[in-house]
Amino acid sequence: MAFLPNDVLAARRRSTTDADWASFEARFEVEFPRLAGLFHRIYGENADDQLALLAVEAADSWQDRPADLKAIDAARAQNPYWFSSNTMLGGVCYVDRYAGTLSGVRSRIPYFRELGLTYLHLMPLFRAPEENSDGGYAVSSYREVDPALGTMDELADLAAELRANGISLVVDFIFNHTSNEHEWARKALAGDPAYEDFYLLYPDREMPDAYERTAREIFPDDHPGSFVQLDDGRWVWATFYSFQWDLNYRNPAVFRAMAREMLFLANQGIDIIRMDAVAFIWKRLGTPCESLPEAHLLLQAFNAVCRLAAPSLLFKSEAIVHPDEVVQYIHPEECQLSYNPLQMALIWNSLATRDASLLAQALERRHATPPGTAWVNYVRSHDDIGWTFSDEDAAELGIHGHDHRRFLNAFFVNRFPGSFARGVPFQDNPRTGDCRISGTTASLAGLEAGDPGAVGRILLAHSIILSTGGIPLLYLGDEVGQLNDYSYAQDPAQAEDTRWVGRPGYPAGRYAVKDDPATDAGAVFSRLHRLIEVRRLTPEFAGGRLVPFSTNNAQVLGYQRPGAPGAGGSMVLALANFADSRQDISAETLSGLAPSAVELLSGTFITLADGISLDAYGVVWLRCRTGH
């Protein structure tokens, strides 16, 4: 770029070796023009000064990057799709709730290894407002760990120790908003014009009213619309809680400031950052202000900054939106990984309806992602479950989206006769009819209600995330069947936010009996452990290729996993019975397959010519060959 002469960059060079500097320059040649192109598309020609500063900061950050992380950068450049291996397994937990402190997390590493984790997502652990911080999603400093949990040095040490144990560390990059206690927010409040321009602040209701005509309400229980009023009378954009102020990405200084925070985190040894609330980062009048084209350009620009200065860092997109929008974030040059909210929601849908058709349809038409990317598949997260399926897809199967969502909400909060689920409504909005639900896997699957099918449902749900391709992500504690925690209702900072029902503390009692299969906890743990072990030994489960399989039985889901090309012609056929009764798959349905197969979970030979009978909630993973 004309405005960044080579000598400007060369002047930043410190005592780094020739080879090291050459590797930066080589990436610079490719990635800087990409970054500049994106900058021009987002900001026009007026941001070249910010761009030049950013380039220089990237050079500095690369030189600050510890040697062990540069070694990982080099290794992963040789093996860029390391994350699509069938040995990848994720776990997520809150530091305080699950282990007290960072050193508590460290002491749980032997257990993480026993479970087979290779990826650990620690929920937000940065300095945040004390009373209520939306579970840490209101960040007051990206450079400080919450002092109750530990220090930034301890986080870097933990990252190194996890890495030595084969576990990648994942943390959130909460870049749509900061807390109102962040230094930038304080300065904005005090009237510093440079920082006022970091947020979306308005003197009166004119612009807020105009935006709210088309923007969706996200946390209506906290405040209606997207804005909150400050004590001085001004209005600030706050998509989520009133203390979470959205950043103004129309200001290129905001992009640069956040890019610096991102690189700082990367250099602590973080392997993957979870890009929080990606859909909301760009606003335009007259639109829903979600998933706008600029949101993608911004993510690609962050991606380019990483390739310059922390090349092995991966992005995971958190877009819990319509499936057509979710996929738009998934690309090697945008977010290599993405939550799979559609699969998550449809697993629960199938459990409620005992019908796998919508899930089968989603696997058929919405599962493929571009080469070099992968889903993060999960049964539930720390958040609510929203029914994000496409109404058009549902209509093809005779399902009316709006009515069906009402049914699902009623079912999962136990307002439907015969329901096994014990969930709690979240952000029930009588004005729009919108509602989501909260709860732990076990409580939603019937364990709390004492339903005899509960353990089977928990395993069935996990079998799907373990075998459809991508990184399966366990909510830690769910592997021993932890139940809802209703104590949040007594805590004024949590009482209004039912997501806390699904975020219990470390379930010590259940872990204590996890090796006794006669207990519920042990039954879930031992059978889940078996699923994990078998997956790890099954190369067909690597990568994301999936071929639908029609079972001729709406209650039984089927899919084939052919594995990576050249894997030897075998494939694994997964069958999963969502009915609460035994179901048969006929010999004729299986007649396209070679007559004998190995059922991997039980390690037995099966003659497909007899057809297959599946227990209620039964799952089989059959290694087969096609043809005779």
Contacts with ligand GLC by CB under 6 A lie at 134-135, 137, 174, 218, 240, 276-277, 318, 320, 383-384, 386, 436
- Cβ 349 vs Cβ 408: under 8 Å: yes
Per the DSSP assignment, residues forming a β-bridge with 425 are 437
CB closer to ligand GLC, 275 vs 421: 275
Residues 486, 487, 493, 495: what is their CA dihedral angle, to the nearest 10 degrees? 40
Cα 596 versus chain centre, distance: 38
* DSSP per-residue codes, 38-50: HHHHHHGGGGHHH
Owner of token pair 């993957």: 272
- Least distance (Å) between residue 278 CB and ligand GLC: 8
Residues 144, 146, 148, 154: what is their CA dihedral angle, to the nearest 10 degrees? -50
From the list 261, 276, 448, 478, the catalytic residue is: 276
Cα distance between the two ends of the chain = 61
- Least distance (Å) between residue 431 CB and ligand GLC: 16
- Cβ 472 vs Cβ 466: under 8 Å: yes
CB closer to ligand GLC, 291 vs 336: 291
- At residue 618, φ and ψ (nearest 5 deg) are -70, 150
- Least distance (Å) between residue 144 CB and ligand GLC: 18
What is d(CA 225, CA 213) in angstroms, rounded to the nearest whole number? 9
Indicate the pairing of strand 244-246 with strand 272-275.
unpaired
CB closer to ligand GLC, 376 vs 619: 376
**Eight-class DSSP state of 489:** G
How many other C-beta atoms are found inside a 10 Å radius of the C-beta of residue 517? 14
Closest CA to 456 of 597, 614, 313: 614
- Residue with CB nearest ligand GLC? 137
How many other C-beta atoms are found inside a 10 Å radius of the C-beta of residue 541? 26
Closest CA to 95 of 121, 127, 73, 72: 121
- Least distance (Å) between residue 307 CB and ligand GLC: 25
Closest CA to 104 of 154, 167, 36: 154
CB closer to ligand GLC, 282 vs 621: 282
- Cβ 177 vs Cβ 227: under 8 Å: no
| Amino acid code (one letter) for 345 | A
Question: Which residues neighbour 388 within 8 Å (Cβ) at sequence distance 6 or greater?
Answer: 320, 321, 322, 323, 326, 341, 342, 345
Largest CA distance in the chain: 77
3-state SS of 219-234?
CCCCCCCCEEECCCCC
Structure tokens at 406: 């009402």
CB closer to ligand GLC, 386 vs 446: 386
Residues 136, 301, 250, 208: what is their CA dihedral angle, to the nearest 10 degrees? -50
CB closer to ligand GLC, 174 vs 363: 174
- Least distance (Å) between residue 448 CB and ligand GLC: 22
What is d(CA 555, CA 542) in angstroms, rounded to the nearest whole number? 26
- Least distance (Å) between residue 608 CB and ligand GLC: 43
CB closer to ligand GLC, 288 vs 569: 288
- Cβ 465 vs Cβ 506: under 8 Å: no
From the list 318, 334, 451, 540, the catalytic residue is: 318
CB closer to ligand GLC, 259 vs 289: 289
- Least distance (Å) between residue 170 CB and ligand GLC: 13
CB closer to ligand GLC, 277 vs 574: 277
- Our answer to whether residue 318 is catalytic in this structure is yes
Structure tokens at 297: 């350009």
Burial 555-566 (b: 16+ CB within 10 A, else e): bbbbbbbbbeee
- Least distance (Å) between residue 384 CB and ligand GLC: 5
Structure tokens at 626: 């096609």
Indicate the pairing of strand 434-438 with strand 424-429.
antiparallel
CB closer to ligand GLC, 57 vs 276: 276
- Least distance (Å) between residue 245 CB and ligand GLC: 11
- Least distance (Å) between residue 559 CB and ligand GLC: 27
Residues with active-site annotation = 276, 318
